[in-house]
């Protein structure tokens, strides 16, 4: 009984009996002292700042559960408080029940001596006849610690914990505002774990939430993956500098005050280094050539529109599927559809065949990215890709290669 009273006293007041609001201010000040601006290399590492703090022993991560000890109970109380603040629509009694449930564990981040900055509450689900997996129930970071890489570092530590314990799959239900975060952490909308292993009463289902899955690779060290990716990117950038002029910086077009004069493009060095040729450009922009390209592009669009498989692509998703609009736009930052493409064509935007094909390909890729492989929409997108785009793209590439050798004139059959 005395333990419960002590815990209640600690929860409602500070160490010296100060109101909890002042205690929170002290915690925030302590957190801020560790959250120094990250002044890293040009290719920044998402979890660079928290890793640096780990190396200085300013930040640590612990996996705890309700073992009835005062130390862990107090940490769980702090975590529950953060979850309640970050997820205000979640019932507090529900949060309390899961955080303190003995079958659930929590991975928490601690800065300084004992300041909890966030954590993940999870449950290990297993049966003798199926592989184990982790259900991520809550995942939160304090407001002061967000956008600094702590969320990524937190998830990477959970991945390491899973691999260390022989677990290679994680599932979670994410609301619309969290889908972007989980995508960045490697979760997908397509659940590749066989349904018979998880759809047996393990998971807690939530309204207006989307099930997401993350499969882990034993060979990957997730605590070092961002550094390894940066090294690969730096190596790629070095190779690009050997074969391209992307790293070169040129002075702008000179002008006197506001007397801006038109510059001849064929006199600009950076234009010429890209392979731009004034004669080819003049041929490309010839009225008869543009007219021919317009009719070919128009014919292709009409053929696709007349095909019965194109019905989900004839208008923007926000019009055809308004109930999916918000979630779709969060997952697909650059949407496009046949009606928009046709409007672009009529406005004269597509001066080449490649420009039209690029938008059509983006339309198909968006659909395949958002929808699971086994869905009907994915199949419709793949049909359009196979039936109308692949062969045409291959033909255009061959024509371009032949053009570069001055063998043939551009045409599309």
List residues with catalytic annotation: 135
Residues recorded for the chain: 413
Q: How far is CA 159 from CA 1, 28, 184, in A?
A: 38, 28, 14
Tokens of 90: 């979640």
Cβ(129)–Cβ(110) under 8 Å? Answer: no
Q: How far is CA 400 from CA 232, 351, 394, in A?
A: 31, 16, 10
**Spatial CB neighbours of 221, under 8 Å, sequence gap ≥ 6:** 160, 228
Could you give phi then psi for residue 249, rounded to 5 degrees? -120, 125
Cβ(332)–Cβ(366) under 8 Å? Answer: yes
Q: Backbone dihedral region of 6: left (phi > 0), alpha (psi from -120 to 50 degrees) or beta?
A: alpha
**Spatial CB neighbours of 265, under 8 Å, sequence gap ≥ 6:** 271, 276, 278, 281
Half-sphere exposure of 42 (CA within 13 A, CB side): 3
Spatial separation of the C-alpha atoms in residues 86 and 121, rounded to whole Å: 14
Long-range (24+ apart) CB contacts under 8 A made by 90-97 are: 95/138
Cβ(96)–Cβ(123) under 8 Å? Answer: no
Q: Is the dihedral of CA 28, 34, 38, 44 positive or negative?
A: negative
Long-range (24+ apart) CB contacts under 8 A made by 181-184 are: 181/139, 181/151, 182/212, 182/214, 183/212, 183/331, 184/152
Q: How far is CA 252 from CA 129, 154, 245, 255, 353, in A?
A: 67, 45, 16, 9, 31
């Amino acid at each position: 009984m005395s333990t419960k009273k002590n815990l209640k006293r600690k929860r409602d007041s500070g160490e010296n009996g100060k109101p909890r609001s002042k205690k929170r201010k002290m915690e925030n000040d302590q957190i801020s002292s560790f959250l120094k601006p990250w002044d890293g290399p040009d290719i920044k590492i998402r979890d660079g700042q928290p890793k640096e703090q780990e190396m200085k022993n300013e930040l640590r991560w612990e996996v705890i559960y309700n073992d009835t000890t005062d130390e862990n109970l107090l940490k769980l109380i702090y975590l529950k408080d953060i979850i309640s603040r970050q997820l205000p629509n979640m019932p507090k009694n529900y949060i309390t029940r899961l955080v303190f449930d003995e079958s659930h564990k929590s991975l928490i981040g601690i800065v300084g001596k004992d300041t909890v900055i966030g954590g993940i509450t999870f449950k290990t689900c297993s049966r003798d006849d199926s592989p184990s997996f982790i259900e991520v129930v809550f995942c939160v970071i304090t407001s002061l610690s967000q956008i600094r890489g702590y969320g990524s570092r937190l998830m990477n530590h959970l991945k390491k914990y899973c691999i260390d314990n022989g677990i290679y799959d994680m599932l979670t239900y994410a609301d619309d505002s969290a889908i972007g975060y989980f995508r960045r952490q490697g979760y997908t909308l397509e659940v590749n774990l066989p349904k018979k292993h998880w759809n047996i009463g393990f998971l807690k289902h939530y309204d207006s939430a989307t099930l997401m899955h993350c499969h882990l690779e034993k060979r990957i060290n997730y605590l070092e993956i961002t550094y390894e990716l940066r090294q690969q990117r730096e190596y790629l950038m070095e190779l690009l500098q050997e074969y391209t002029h992307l790293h070169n910086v040129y002075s702008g077009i000179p002008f006197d005050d506001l007397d801006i004069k038109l510059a001849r493009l064929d006199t600009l060095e950076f234009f010429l280094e890209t392979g731009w040729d004034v004669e080819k450009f003049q041929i490309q922009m010839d009225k008869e050539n543009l007219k021919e390209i317009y009719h070919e592009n128009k014919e292709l669009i009409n053929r696709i529109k007349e095909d019965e498989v194109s019905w989900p692509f004839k208008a923007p998703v926000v019009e055809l599927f308004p109930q999916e609009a918000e979630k779709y736009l969060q997952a697909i930052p650059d949407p496009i559809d046949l009606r928009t493409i046709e409007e672009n064509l009529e406005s004269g935007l597509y001066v080449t065949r490649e420009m039209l094909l690029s938008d059509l390909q983006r339309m198909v890729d968006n659909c395949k990215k958002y929808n699971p492989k086994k869905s009907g929409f994915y199949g419709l997108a793949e049909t359009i890709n196979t039936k109308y785009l692949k062969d045409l793209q291959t033909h255009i590439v061959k024509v371009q290669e032949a053009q570069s050798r001055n063998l043939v004139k551009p045409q599309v059959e």
